[in-house]
């Protein structure tokens, strides 16, 4: 708790998990908090994330959990240690909701949806004095240092003793993550890594026949290989290419290869439970008057989109050659041309670099301005990792503000 009878005021810009968590930390410490969001209501992307079941975190061993953040593991580790997956589950429990671990290790609230959790959280924040201002689009700073907002009542200028920016990345602009803050911060000299799609689908050169027939069809229990990456899971054929869980997990590698080489080639094992020798033996059995398509169905159970992929990507001669067909079933090459547009991605990579901030997430060139959440330069696969790091960085930013305000007050007190 700040030891001063006059409470400072902090403006938080962005009403996603990171901004709301910063608001919680600050309001509990007795700070006056005003939270601004450009949308008509807060937490819109959070609510969208919970539509199919709110995956808030992951229950794997902590060292494995940390490894999901790849190159940003070291800078995120202190925040994730302070607000770990276990701490996040305890926090959800304090809001009145139990959690459970799914078969894949993913953690969900028993309610599954985000809306009840968000409602309870906002009610608690309002009880601690947090004032939420919606339809307030941040425009940067005025010449006198105040914050500029467009509002339903025209432009307003707001003074704050400190600012937390939690403006999200650049995906799902219709939910508020527009990336418009990039130019505002670059104009102030803040180093920002270019925003890029993450957890995204990729384009492939499907024929019109294949695309129209199989778009939206899932490929269940396949294995995807790319360089040293290999993972079993599901993916979905789209009208323009592929997307889905296992593709999202590999998306950073695939995106970077596409950028460097113009394309990335994955290999798809359509029957990961069967070794190549078994597939060859099955296909080598007499097929009589059956077509190769019927032979595939009877001997190996390959039908639908899996059979369609083989037809799409193999020549007629390859499709009717037992060994070449068997090899393709176990390692079907699919050329991915480019990631889908950033606005379609689940999340984005890039953002405010950690070198541009101190250990408390305050911008080195803008005293009293802190950043948190997806607008920072990190990325992670789906599976609860994104949300956990957003919560953790929001908490870290809020605590950073408290440290800075206390230091600032102590220094001012010494002057008098």
pLDDT band at 7 (very low <50, low <70, confident <90, very high): confident
Q: Residue 161 above 90 pLDDT?
A: yes
Averaged over 176-183, what is the pLDDT? Answer: 94
Q: Answer yes or no: is pLDDT of 98 > 50.
A: yes
At residue 416, the pLDDT reads: 34
CA distance 99 to 353: 33
Confidence of residue 6 (pLDDT cuts 50, 70, 90): low
Q: What was the pLDDT predicted at 160? A: 97
Question: What pLDDT does residue 171 have?
Answer: 92
Mean pLDDT on 69-93: 97
Q: Please, what is the average pLDDT of the chain?
A: 94
Percent of the chain with pLDDT over 70: 96
Q: Over the stretch 195-223, which tens digit does the pLDDT of each residue have?
A: 999 999 999 999 999 999 999 999 999 99
- Judged against a pLDDT cut of 80, whether residue 4 lies above it is answered with no
Q: What is the pLDDT of residue 29?
A: 95
- pLDDT, position 197: 97
In terms of Cβ atoms closer than 10 Å to its own Cβ (0-12, 13-18, 19+), residue 98 is exposed
Segments in 226-303 forming alpha helices (H): 245-249, 251-261, 276-284, 292-300
> Each residue of 243-264: b (16+ CB within 10 Å) or e?
bbbbbbbbbbbbbebbeeeebb
pLDDT at 5: 44
Encode pLDDT of 278-329 as tens digits: 999 999 998 888 888 899 999 999 999 999 999 999 999 999 899 999 999 9
Closest CA to 26 of 6, 44, 54, 2: 2
């Amino acid at each position: 708790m700040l030891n001063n009878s006059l409470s400072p005021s902090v403006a938080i810009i962005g009403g996603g998990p990171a901004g709301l968590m910063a608001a919680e930390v600050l309001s509990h410490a007795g700070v006056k908090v005003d939270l601004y969001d450009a949308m008509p209501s807060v937490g819109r992307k959070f609510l969208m994330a919970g539509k199919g079941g709110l995956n808030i975190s992951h229950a794997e061993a902590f060292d494995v959990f940390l490894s999901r953040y790849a190159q940003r593991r070291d800078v995120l580790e202190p925040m994730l240690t302070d607000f770990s997956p276990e701490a996040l589950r305890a926090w959800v429990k304090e809001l009145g909701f139990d959690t459970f671990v799914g078969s894949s290790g993913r953690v969900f609230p028993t309610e599954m949806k985000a809306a009840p959790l968000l409602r309870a959280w906002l009610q608690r924040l309002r009880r601690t004095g947090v004032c939420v201002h919606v339809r307030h689009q941040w425009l940067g700073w005025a010449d006198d240092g105040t914050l500029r907002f467009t509002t339903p009542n025209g432009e307003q200028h707001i003074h704050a003793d400190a600012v937390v920016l939690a403006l999200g990345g650049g995906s799902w602009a219709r939910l508020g993550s527009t990336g418009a803050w990039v130019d505002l911060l670059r104009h102030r000299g803040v180093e920002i890594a270019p925003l890029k799609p993450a957890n995204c689908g990729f384009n492939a050169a499907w024929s019109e026949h294949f695309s129209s027939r199989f778009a939206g069809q899932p490929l269940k229990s396949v294995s995807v290989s790319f360089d040293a990456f290999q993972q079993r899971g599901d993916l979905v054929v789209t009208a323009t290419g592929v997307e889905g869980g296992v593709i999202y997990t590999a998306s950073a590698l695939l995106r970077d290869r596409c950028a460097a080489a113009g394309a990335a080639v994955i290999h798809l094992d359509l029957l990961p439970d069967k070794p190549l020798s078994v597939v060859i033996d099955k296909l080598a059995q007499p097929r009589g008057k059956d077509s190769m398509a019927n032979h595939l169905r009877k001997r190996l159970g390959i039908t639908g989109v899996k059979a369609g992929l083989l037809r799409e990507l193999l020549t007629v001669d390859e499709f009717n050659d037992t060994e070449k067909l068997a090899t393709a079933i176990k390692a079907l090459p699919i050329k991915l041309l480019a990631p889908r547009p950033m606005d379609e991605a689940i999340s984005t990579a890039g953002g405010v670099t950690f070198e541009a901030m101190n250990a408390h997430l305050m911008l080195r060139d803008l005293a009293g301005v802190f950043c948190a959440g997806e607008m920072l330069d990190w990325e992670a696969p789906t599976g609860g990792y994104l949300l956990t790091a957003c919560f953790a960085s929001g908490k870290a930013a809020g605590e950073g503000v408290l440290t800075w305000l206390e230091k600032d007050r102590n220094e001012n007190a010494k002057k008098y």
